[in-house]
Amino acid sequence: MASVQYSEKLKNIYWLVFFVIAFTAIAIQLGTDATPDFKIAHHYLGYAFLNNRQSIDISPVGFQSNFYYGVDVVYYLLITKLNNHPNIINIILSLPYAICAFCVFLLARQFVEVSGWGRNLVAASAGVLGLTGASALPTLATSMTDILPGLPYVVALTFWLWFEIHKRNTLQTSSCAGFVAGLSVGMKLTQAPLFVALFITIAIRQFLGNRNAWKEAFLFGIFGVIAFSMLSGHWLWSNYASTGNPFFPIMNNIFKSDLVAHGAFADTRFFPRTWKMELFYPAYWTFLASHFAIELNMRDARVFVGLLSAVAIILAFVLRRSFGKACVRDEPLRLAGFYLAVVYVVSYLFWLKIWSIYRYLAIQECLSAVMLLAALRELAGRYVLVRHRVAIYAALAVTIAATTQYPWWSRAQPAPVAVQVRLPTLEPDAMMLVLDMYAHGYVFPYLTPSVPIVGARTNLSGPGSAGQLQVRIETAIKSHKGPLWGIDFPQGFPGMADEALAGYGLRRGSECSMVETNIENKPTIRICRLERQ
């Protein structure tokens, strides 16, 4: 018996190595990070925290200037320490994908009925299918991904379900699961729907005969909040102390910081436009190449198939219970499939109401193949032979993979370094003004360190904007005694910089140069000396 268990553990290591090799190879081929979020804020926020730029700069990256910086510090340190080794950076950043795929592999294997090598092969295909979706694969080895912050949650869910299948969940295991899952929310708030969904799932077990379910859910929530506070507590408090809004500028309709207008500052571009779209939203990006829920065109059936599978499992479970036909055979696995389905549906519904941005469905996307396997076991178990169920799964998996259209985000141009930026040397007493809404943030760490960066025209500020933030910006510009410089992207936002300069009583001088960088396909960003009118 011990030798069998050792052999099984050894096979698990082989599959983990397989996922590591597969995703590192893909990451190296894709190239280093130059995605929009990297360019807008992620590179700058890590730099800003480590160099106390909050006391020097004024809202330089606009809306995202006060976003959580914890993970960005890791990204920034990784790039600065290993900038001469871009492939090593990508290898390191691909590891969360490999571990997440391995967790999906472990989950999927619980619902695969074939034995021997076939079981592991089917489960491994679920890991590959889940981590190569339109949300996950294009953001591999980038700061734009939701897989890295979602990884602790996937680990927590995997082991919580394993303990549930083996009837070994306790107050202690739920507390540990809550703490690990809470790390995901602490790393990125977009993981909150998943955390709430698992909390609800743990609680509803009270109605299925688990007398400690509410206690377990309570401890799950408490330890999740502790983990979240450990990672994000300093950020929330510093935001509140400096702005009056811990989530500034988000939810300013609730906290009402006077720095900006009292609005929600939510990204509503991707919310469903009609009740029909809201009801069938995943079908839109399953059957149509569209950008309803994302900035670029994409098509992916994973979430649609996962939701259909989850809803089918829940309906079958409820009907079976309603008619008193609870099956003793495989009851732990049936319950596990039901719990996973509840997590899937509830987290999706929260996502739909809060975010509706497809990139934030990365974890649901990676669990989609597991949901399909669980549904086939639950719904076709009595009527379809195992080999036929595997064939159905294989046919659907191949169809999903073949019909996926990826939103390929920008990557850095090949270079000996991961990030290469050449700028004019500014005077130590100069001030840099951001004059349009382009993603200039990645440039700022390479400016002269003593130069303050001011968001003169961003998606949060500009001439005529309401709030004390704009007053602070105008005062800083008027009172600055040294040279003024401006940064803009004239082709991307024609006329915006000129309007901003006119609003501040400034004009562009004759001294201009283009930023040289491998982050752009061609020179786009211009830096010019400014003069007062």
- Residue 41 domain-assigned? no
Q: Rounded to an integer, what distance in angstroms lies between the CA atom of residue 384 and that of residue 382? A: 6
Would you place residue 25 in the very low, low, confident or very high pLDDT band (cuts 50, 70, 90)? Answer: very high
The pLDDT of 515-528, averaged and rounded, is 95
- Residue 461 domain-assigned? yes
pLDDT at 407 over 70: yes
Residue 503: domain span: 421-532
131 and 260, same domain (yes or no): yes
The model's pTM is 0.95
428 and 364, same domain (yes or no): no
HSE (side-chain half, CA atoms, 13 Å) at 360: 24
Residue 183: phi, psi to the nearest 5? -60, -35
The pLDDT of 167-177, averaged and rounded, is 96
Joined together, the tokens standing for residue 198 give: 């698992």
pLDDT of residue 7: 64
- Residue 52 domain-assigned? no
163 and 281, same domain (yes or no): yes
428 and 384, same domain (yes or no): no
358 and 466, same domain (yes or no): no
pLDDT at 159 over 80: yes
pLDDT at 519 over 60: yes
pLDDT of residue 326: 57
What does pLDDT average to over the chain?
94
pLDDT of residue 12: 85
Joined together, the tokens standing for residue 274 give: 């009609």
pLDDT of residue 386: 81
Joined together, the tokens standing for residue 469 give: 């933030």
Rg (CA), the chain: 25
pLDDT at 327 over 70: no
pLDDT of residue 40: 97
Q: Rounded to an integer, what distance in angstroms lies between the CA atom of residue 80 and that of residue 418? A: 9
What would the pLDDT profile of 388-397 be if each residue is shown by its tens digit? 889 999 999 9
Q: Looking at the DSSP assignment, which residues form a beta bridge with residue 433?
A: 454, 486
251 and 377, same domain (yes or no): yes
Would you place residue 325 in the very low, low, confident or very high pLDDT band (cuts 50, 70, 90)? Answer: low
115 and 235, same domain (yes or no): yes
- Residue 409 domain-assigned? no
- Residue 38 domain-assigned? no
500 and 397, same domain (yes or no): no
Last residue of a domain, one of 403, 434, 469: 403
393 and 430, same domain (yes or no): no
Last residue of a domain, one of 354, 371, 403: 403
265 and 309, same domain (yes or no): yes
Of all residues in the chain, what percent carry a pLDDT higher than 90? Answer: 89
Would you place residue 132 in the very low, low, confident or very high pLDDT band (cuts 50, 70, 90)? Answer: very high
- Residue 46 domain-assigned? no
Last residue of a domain, one of 337, 372, 403: 403
105 and 217, same domain (yes or no): yes
What would the pLDDT profile of 226-251 be if each residue is shown by its tens digit? 999 999 999 999 999 999 999 999 99
What would the pLDDT profile of 179-192 be if each residue is shown by its tens digit? 999 999 999 999 99
Q: Which helix (H) or strand (E) holds 454?
A: strand 453-454
> Do residues 143 and 35 touch, judged by C-beta distance below 8 A?
yes
- Residue 413 domain-assigned? no
Would you place residue 406 in the very low, low, confident or very high pLDDT band (cuts 50, 70, 90)? Answer: very high
What would the pLDDT profile of 266-300 be if each residue is shown by its tens digit? 889 999 999 999 999 999 999 999 999 999 999 99
Q: Rounded to an integer, what distance in angstroms lies between the CA atom of residue 387 and that of residue 393? A: 10
The pLDDT of 81-108, averaged and rounded, is 98
pLDDT at 109 over 80: yes
- Residue 384 domain-assigned? yes
345 and 428, same domain (yes or no): no
Domain count, the chain: 2
Within its chain, how far is the Cα of 328 from the centroid?
39
pLDDT of residue 387: 84
3-state secondary structure of 19: helix
Would you place residue 382 in the very low, low, confident or very high pLDDT band (cuts 50, 70, 90)? Answer: low
Nearest to 523 by CA among 461, 462, 438, 456: 438
What would the pLDDT profile of 249-274 be if each residue is shown by its tens digit? 999 999 999 999 999 998 899 999 99
Would you place residue 3 in the very low, low, confident or very high pLDDT band (cuts 50, 70, 90)? Answer: low
3-state secondary structure of 213: helix
